[in-house]
Structure 1
Amino acid sequence: MAIQTYVSPTNSLGNEYFEIFMGYVVDPIRVSVVNVDHKYCSSYSDPHYRTFDRSYYSMMHHDYFVLVRGNTKKGGRLEIQTATSICSDVSCNCAVAILEQNDLVIIDFCQRTTPRITVPRRKLSSGTVIHEQYGYRYYVYTHTGVLLEVTLHSRGDYSYMDISVLLPSDYHNNTMALCGTASDDHSDDFTKRDGTPAQSFEEFVDSWRVQEGENLFIDHASIPEVPDYDKVYCNCPGDVSDDPTIFVTLAWRRGL
């Protein structure tokens, strides 16, 4: 695949130096695209779960839970928590919080007609974006490639959300919690927070209830910060100074 750019002669910015670049055509850049298997987890409806390694189960408890907890060898930190509440005679997700490195975003739809979106800790890092679509779907793209998708629903007196998580390869085999381990082996999905396999489904669920002091919705001010790091998106073999090839890792999902 080749990418070529062209500078339009339309000077919409009013820059006095713009004429220097009028009509300039940048030399083509070759891009080698390497597709990798991305990891996808979802918690939807009342709620049903699909783990990163395609285990399926339902969980009807009302509480705060850890959906994803991950770390990378490069120092990345990821935590996604959900709040579930009574939804008719079952339970539903009504709020979600994502902490990636030091960026925290909370989407709260509990007993609300419109969502409340907050960034309680600090200004988001460059590259972390919150995007609204159609008024009921929200995307949080983190600067390291994690994607959180939230779709809002209202049914009678109840408001709830469907939650999906798309992981970049850095977090593969480096996650735990309700979404599983992202290890390509669904047999270890039901692992407790101490790293041991759960002996029952209830033991697994109870292990991932949010504990005192780690609640992203309530305790965010006391959660310690971690060093920021610059994500390396590709490793170019050898000296590529004379080779305009960029190795890019892309994860694609229908509808984004």
Structure 2
Amino acid sequence: MNDAIVKTTKLSWNSQRDIIKEDEYIMGSNDSDIFSPAFPSNKIFIGIMVKPDAIVVREDLYSGPGHEVGIWASVPMSCVIELKVQFDAVRDFKDDGDQIVNVYVKPSNKCSTRVIDDYKETITVLVIDVTTGRCTSRGDPHYNSYDGRNFDNYLAGDFVLHRSQNRSFEVHTRTWKCWDASCNCGVVVRENDDIVGVTRCHGRWGKAAPKVINFSYGKFADGISISIDHSGRRFVIYTPSGSRVVAKTSKWGMDIQLTVPGDDFGGNCRSLWSV
């Protein structure tokens, strides 16, 4: 307060107290010249805390562990608890460009503290798209590489179609003589310790029926699967990394299509289809 005299009173011999009435001396009112200095209070955010509020994830295997986001209330609220959320990008094998996804965090309707209508905090997630590679080996056989080059291979034998340099994944094929050239008669896929193949190389050309062979020891790991269409001629091998090998069989042999993630690009693979 300032040094102003609020009230002067004289006490008699039998009076030991006097009263200052609050409604007569309200600080800063029009009827009073009593003022106190102004002191601003510390600002405090009341709501949901989100850190970090923006993250970047990639559609590949080597972007590191998932990104954790912490969410908690800045003041005690019965409707919000402290938790962590992990964000990972899922490889969709589509060349659809980078995507921005907004994730909203809001309290429930049952809160001990009154919450502004439609109150929410936002986490912005930028998903970096990763290129997908597709290549084919058709006919006797004609190859179309990841980067669009076309070439032929008329030799009979075993060939490495794809071998990743930074993960345990490779695809081999075997060709046999057909007509005056060669054709694919089998394909084998290995990812980690799982090895599976589709072949008709075990019989005579044009006579052997295609069959699936498990070269692994024991059961396949989670994520390895093989599908066969109703005709019994089209086989699809799926792997945990998302890589996919399609073998479409005919009497003379098979056409092969391979789809791999962008992890294997940039000098990270060695094969007939290397880029």
Q: Are 1:163 and 2:260 an aligned pair?
A: no
Q: Which has the larger radius of gyration?
A: 2
| Aligned residue in 1 for 2:197 | 106
C-alpha distance after superposition, 1:208-239 (max 9, x if no partner): xxxxxxxxxxxxxxxxxxxxxxxxxxxxxxxx
> Which letter maps to 1:95?
G
**TM-score normalised per structure 2:** 0.50
Tell me how large the CA RMSD over aligned residues is.
2.1
* % identical equivalent positions: 30
- Name the CA distance, whole Å, in 1 between partners of 2:146 and 2:179: 28
Shift of 1:169: 2.1
Q: Are 1:131 and 2:227 an aligned pair?
A: yes
Between Structure 1 and Structure 2, how many residues are aligned? 147
C-alpha distance after superposition, 1:19-70 (max 9, x if no partner): xxxxxxxxxxx99876432101111101001111111101100111111111
* Range 114-123 or range 143-152, more displaced: 114-123
Q: Which has the higher contact order (CA 8 A, sep 6+)?
A: 1
1:88 to 157, 165, 179: 179
Q: Are 1:53 and 2:147 an aligned pair?
A: yes
C-alpha distance after superposition, 1:167-197 (max 9, x if no partner): 012222211111113xxxxxxxxxxxxxxxx
* Range 76-85 or range 33-42, more displaced: 33-42
Distance 1:133 1:34, change over 3 A: farther
| Aligned residue in 2 for 1:242 | none
> Which letter maps to 2:233?
Y
- Name the CA distance, whole Å, in 2 between partners of 1:139 and 1:57: 24
From the two aligned structures, give the one with the greater helix fraction: 1
Q: Are 1:66 and 2:160 an aligned pair?
A: yes
SS in 1 for 2:240: coil
Q: Are 1:150 and 2:242 an aligned pair?
A: no
Shift of 1:120: 1.7
Q: Are 1:38 and 2:132 an aligned pair?
A: yes
Shift of 1:133: 1.4
**TM-score normalised per structure 1:** 0.53
| Aligned residue in 2 for 1:140 | 237
> Which letter maps to 1:133?
D
User: Any gaps of 5 or more consecutive residues in structure 2?
Assistant: 1-100, 103-123
Partners of 2:130 and 2:261 within 8 A in 1 = no
| Aligned residue in 2 for 1:208 | none
